[in-house]
Structure 1
Amino acid sequence: MARPRSDSPLLFDIPLKPDFSVERRSRKRGVWPVAGTDEAGRGPLAGPVVAAAVILDPDAIPDGLDDSKRMTLEARERVYLTIIGSAISVGVASVCAVSIDRSDIRKASLEAMRRAVAALSLPPLLVLADGRDIPPGLACEGQALVKGDQRSQSIAAASIVAKVTRDRMLAHCGTIHPAYGFERHAGYGTEAHLAGIGAHGPLPGLHRMSFSPFKAA
């Protein structure tokens, strides 16, 4: 297995929108398929961290790919459907709040990305991971890209799939636990969420008890 690599791009290395240049160079040297992977939900007080891995079809790259955090809800949902309908393969995985508490959010995020890659129907020969870390245990070469969701269309696609999937999961939690408003804040520490916790207490198995304010309490 090839050694994992990471890089630290200069500001001028980051395009205005993510492109397919890293994937294209890899394909030219015979390393294909290439998957991008990213996670959503490192910062919330509740819910799982969700990761996605996507192998895009070079001949059918969806329009509008971008870092999911820079997109509106409507744009994310629209592009999500295009990704699901056109990608060669999509894998999704999550790590629950209990497992996050047993390890830490960094390890849980990397494990979710590893599981998402393993869930792909077509094994990649290269995985592009957003950030500075490469998920451990990959069965192929890995490359970490700082601000990868703004540089690589494959990682951007994964960021959108992970974000939409997690938001839908937390919206479902909101129907089960309406007092907390998960459908509005997706588990982040908003004023409304903190008020719900103050009034009703944390939910075992859903709130991350190793996070503030629970850890301090």
Structure 2
Amino acid sequence: MKEKIFVFGASGHAKVVIDVIEQQGVYDIAFLADDDPALKGTHIYGYPVIGGKADLLASGIKRGIVAIGSNKARSSVAAWLSGNGCELVSAIHPSAQLARGVTIGNGTVVMAGAVINSDTSIGFDVIVNTRASIDHDCIIGSGVHIAPGVTLCGTVAVGAGSFVCAGSTIIPNLTIGSNVTVGAGSTVIRDVPDKVTVVGSPAKVVKKF
């Protein structure tokens, strides 16, 4: 019998995560949890939304995955779950390609068609979204979202909590700081410091936090 797990989150992103889990075929989904009280008692693809954090703890199921697109919200829930005795699992779509030497942290989801090349390290609670391409020897920090169609060339480091938006490209041997947003369609050709937003081709800083 497959292990039963929870999915925390009941939004559009959760629909994609549910599909990844089903396609992977390692776990059975017992239920969804979400702190939005309006969602309690509803269903997504036949799976019940049982309620929020208190309901999850009362269920007795201690392993699952956080299906929230927002880095800040996802990391907050993941930390709360860890602090309350729960363990996160990873989910990898069978159409994703992982080369030798790739490591994947707990709580990470790798979506359909993603490519992760040799000796790349993916941290905890990361989203590698649909058809993203991550080349060799990259280091992706925890809580990062690599959006659909992103290209990371070889030996790129992305700091914790950063969001690399859809269709952007980062050339080889660069470091992207923590809590950075790389705007959709941008081309990054130089290192990016912490806590900024960069956009354009070539990408330039447009906001500092």
Q: TM-score normalised to the size of structure 1? A: 0.30
TM-score (norm 2): 0.31
Higher relative contact order (CA 8 A, sep 6+): 1
Q: Report the structure, 1 or 2, having the larger helix content.
A: 1
